[in-house]
Structure 1
Amino acid sequence: MKPHIALLSAFALLLTGCSKATEPTGPVKTNTVSVNVHGVNYTAEPFRYVLVDPANPSNGAAEHISPFSGGGIMCCFTLPKRWSPGIRVNVQSTHWLPETDKGDLPEVEKIYTVEVPAYPEGAGELWVLRTADGAIELVTSNVEPDHPQWPGKVKGWPEPSLTYQRERWKLYRKIAEDKVDVYRASLDHLKKYTQAHLQNEWDVDKERQRNAIKKFSGPNDPAYAEYKTKSYIEGLQRSEKKLKQLLKEKP
């Protein structure tokens, strides 16, 4: 065998030996566990949290939550399998105050350093709560806030305040009133400016619902005028019914 070939063969055997020696003989053990993160907002203000491990900034989770609401499932945040005192996380909390006269939404941001409460080995899902007084609480639990074994100080899911319910009701009422006005205006416009209105509607329908109007010959087709009139009347009836129901349901 030539010297350089022998040398390459020996080197290949050496690499093979090293490769076999470093192959894992079983599952890799770790002292950490990945857990889902949930957020719950008990306030009337929109809320966003950013959860960060101060010892490992790449370990984090974030979520935006509406007033008096629960969030989704954020995956994942890493915790030690075994709890010990002193496990801390940073929670960047942001909420928005009511709109100003200028149309601005003042943003309030604060960073909390919070200790993770005790949990059994393997941890539980991590919950980030913004309580009614604006404080931040962490809970580790595999059950939800309305469960009898929920360990958090705040029990149950958020319940909207009467003030918040009335604010939302006013918004829904305004939307319903606007729909009624739109249908009434459309019917009135159709009576006053029949041909011009139908031409505009035809152009819109060609873009948005071509299949629905393919049976008509065009905007001058009397059947098309009947079709639009009927759709306005039915839309007005639905909108008036919705508005009437909302007025009965005022908080």
Structure 2
Amino acid sequence: MLLLGGEAAWLANRLAGSGTTWGFVGWGLVPALIVLALLTNGKRLAWPAQRFAADYLGIGVTVPLLCLTGWVLLATVRAGDPTPLPYLPLLNPLELGQSFILLLLGHWLLQIRQARIPAVDGVSEQIMAALLAALTFIAVNGVVARAVHFIGDVPFRPWSLWRSNILQAAIAILWTTLALSLTILATRTGRRQVWLTGAGLLGLVVAKLFLVDLAGQGTVARIVSFLVVGGLMLVIGYFSPLPPRQLEEKQ
């Protein structure tokens, strides 16, 4: 996998230029495609996967997926220059690669849940699902930061992004929207833990508004963020009450 990934990265850098993100995408995309092939057709491969199916579909995909998880995290802190293509949010090589790997991780977790492949010893499915959700959350925040970098012409550096009023407003709205989605989902499915997760995220938004955003309350972006977040909080309070404990226990 490493050899093929390195070859793909070298070829991409040669074609698109070493200063772009294409080579980095090659390091993640090629191993991800191999893992996908093992998950979907591993048991049908005559040799060697069929003979050693438990090993190939167990540790044989778990270790590469751990490496791909690290790739997603590294991708989050990269600007992701798509030259020679123009930048489009979500429709650029770096974020398409991240999306593909996140979907691959979800597919792997589903295969484990359906007992089609061996489970990971010592790690429950709930913990893996929570880690995947956290990884997705981090990646989505990176998408927003990257959009502000390219569209808002903000340097892709931690301090520059932190001082960006547009990014602070966008993050507040994003987190509140995610909290709204979680609480609505929890109310409809009766899952208190999911609702509490959304409420915790909403609490972080409120703390951020008062501790960070108030410092720039005169800017239009932060005024808009206060209005949007306040409106979404009203929606959460009206449409997404905390599910009763009895309903969760019945499930």
TM-score with structure 1 length normalisation? 0.22
Q: Which has the higher strand share?
A: 1
Larger Rg: 1
